[in-house]
A and B are shown apart, each in its own frame.
Chain A
């Protein structure tokens, strides 16, 4: 009771995350100092920026006046190649990532399998697409095959990791109930696990399809085929109007995919 009397009338504050006051303030000040120092190292050549503004203006003006016609054949071919690359790599990537995701979920895989699958994911995620593409172009030569392999490889890291995390956070009891009925392992996955993660798997797959399409536009810059190669050529020739046309087509397709994925994800919930 006497303890309560002491507490009444005293203001209450949420306990700070870092308890030691000097350490807390040292961290805040250190961060601010670092931020200032970091910004001071950025060199801006304002004269160069002023010159560049003119080029930027031309580039943006080209959007008002995109030229779909004069290189329509190249744009069409590049687009078809990109779409084929996207679809093929997404399908292959997803099919390979599902077993890896099962292996990388700690709640269903034994430790050795878990470690192997996690390292596959780590490798796939550590290597950025462009770097992989450069390597694969060196091995397989210019063209969409290198792009296809790059995107499949990248899909594995992305999808397996996120799917594995969804499996790890599933409701354990639902899966337990299936196990208690005497189900075999594959049946247990099919009845106890799959229904719980299916919406996420579909959502992620569509999202990855979307990413793969955008990436396929970039990979062309390092020679891995697709619409990126056409775009690169247009820039090299200073044909900003054609480049603008290509970018517009890419934007439209990405937005269409986005819209589509919204609808599908709503349906599968």
Chain B
């Protein structure tokens, strides 16, 4: 469903963030993208919806090559890709409801959005999603009044109300405590399953990734170093991705964690 072909990103500074990355994500697959800081994980995700312009190569979403699209055609395609951010990226001075509804901006006209007169079906769906993540009673609170975990739930609702086919998730748990991190990851994965969404999740926490995803991609210096099942992440593999370190404590005893959560 999503196919990257020889995707290259070279920044103006000359840093090559992505070196001809090839990747194929089938319908409904949730995959984790791991790798050291600066390996190009964020760049990869942002090159898909062109928040960062790739230097060369192609990104196919279904049959559409996103890299060739005009700005307005790209906007229409962006509706099919929900994005969830590190540090939540909610618009802090807007209410929770406005933040969720902002996921519909690609579908409604300017005046409707300006006057906050969204179609009833959008409002209903927003309430349904907020209820699903347990925040329906917070709809009129301002986003900056929420805790980290709550904000990320709102971020998830904003991405899902777009009715996307693909979720791009950038470090969803980077600023959350371990318990909330786990809850957020579980929520994302459950919702993907419910709705049959594919997802690319950037994540630093290897153990957390192993716990929830079906496939892991290891990125190092902008190139794919590992592509396989989460069980395949042996100390040797982690050493090739991150460099020498004692990995025994990082590779989790999955059962114990599940029982704990």
Instruction: Using CB atoms and an 8 Å cutoff, list the residues of chain A in contact with chain B.
Output: 173-174, 176-184, 186-188, 190-192, 195-196, 198-199
Establish whether residues A181 and B90, one from each chain, have CB atoms under 8 Å apart when the complex forms.
Answer: no
- Considering the complex of A and B, which 3 residue pairs feature the smallest CB-CB distances, nearest first? A182-B106, A183-B105, A182-B78
Residue on A nearest B80 in the bound complex, by CB: A182
Q: Across the interface, name the chain A residue whose C-beta is closest to B81.
A: A180
Cross-chain contact A173 with B85 (CB below 8 angstroms): yes
User: What A residues does B106 contact at CB under 8 A?
Assistant: 181-183
Q: Kindly list chain B residues whose C-beta atoms are within 8 Å of the C-beta of A187.
A: 105, 110, 113-114
CA A173 – CA B83 in complex, angstroms?
12
B49-89 interface (Cβ within 8 A of A) = 49, 51, 75-79, 81-83, 85, 87, 89
Q: Is the CB of A177 within 8 A of B105?
A: no
Known: A187-B110, A191-B113. A181 touches B89 (CB 8 A): no
Partner of B51 from A180, A184, A192 at Cβ < 8 Å? A180
| A181 contact from B87, B94, B114, B162, Cβ within 8 A | B162
Q: When chains A and B are docked, how far (Å) is the Cα of A188 from the Cα of B104?
A: 12
B35 within 8 A of A: no
The answer, yes or no, to whether B140 is at the interface (CB within 8 Å) is no
For B94-117 the 0/1 string (1 means CB < 8 A from A) is: 100010001111110010011000
For A172, the closest partner residue in chain B by CB is B89
Please report which residues of chain B, range 105-134, place their CB below 8 angstroms from some CB of chain A when the two chains form the complex: 105-107, 110, 113-114
Q: With an 8 A cutoff between CB atoms, is B9 at the interface?
A: no
Please, could you name 18 A-B residue pairs with CB atoms under 8 Å apart, sorted by A?
Answer: A176-B51, A178-B91, A181-B78, A181-B79, A181-B103, A181-B158, A182-B78, A182-B105, A182-B106, A182-B162, A183-B102, A184-B110, A187-B113, A190-B114, A191-B98, A191-B105, A195-B93, A196-B92
Interchain CB contact (< 8 A) of A191 among B83, B92, B94: B94
**Which of A173, A176, A182, A196 makes the CB contact (< 8 A) with B93?**
A196
Q: Are A195 and B113 in contact (CB under 8 A)?
A: no
Asked whether A180 lies within 8 Å of B105 as measured between CB atoms, the reply is: no
Q: Determine how close the nearest CB of chain B comes to the CB of A100; give it in whole angstroms.
A: 21
- Find the residue from A177, A178, A183, A191 having the highest chain B CB count within 10 A: A177
Tell me whether B93 and A177 are in contact (CB under 8 A): no
B90 contacts across to A, CB distance below 8 A: 174, 177
B94: chain A residues within 8 A (beta carbon): 191, 195
> Closest residue of chain B to A193, judged by CB?
B91
* Contact B75–A176 (Cβ < 8 Å): no
| Given A173-B89, A176-B85, 6 new contacts (CB under 8 A) | A176-B51, A178-B102, A181-B82, A181-B83, A181-B103, A182-B162
Complex Cα spacing A177 to B106, Å: 12
Q: Contacts of A192 on B, CB cut-off 8 Å?
A: 91
Residues in B with CB closer than 8 Å to A188 are 105
State the CA gap A181–B113 with chains docked (Å). 13
Instruction: Please tell me if the beta carbons of A191 and B102 are within 8 angstroms of each other in the complex.
Output: yes
**Cβ A182 vs Cβ B91 within 8 A:** no
Task: Give Cα A112 to B107, complex, Å.
Answer: 31
Complex contacts, A195 vs chain B, CB 8 Å: 91-94
How far is B104's CA from A174's CA once the two chains are assembled, in angstroms?
A: 16
Which of B82, B105, B155, B168 contacts A184, CB < 8 Å? B105
Q: Tell me how far the C-beta of A264 lies from the nearest C-beta in chain B, rounded to whole angstroms.
A: 16
Minimal Cβ-Cβ distance residue in B for A173: B89
Nearest CB of B to A98, in Å: 15
- Cβ contact within 8 Å between B49 and A190: no
A180, B49: Cβ atoms under 8 Å? Answer: yes
Residues of B within 8 A of A178 (CB): 91, 102, 105
Question: Shortest distance in angstroms between A186's beta carbon and chain B's nearest beta carbon?
Answer: 5
| Chain B residues within an 8 Å CB radius of A186 | 110, 114
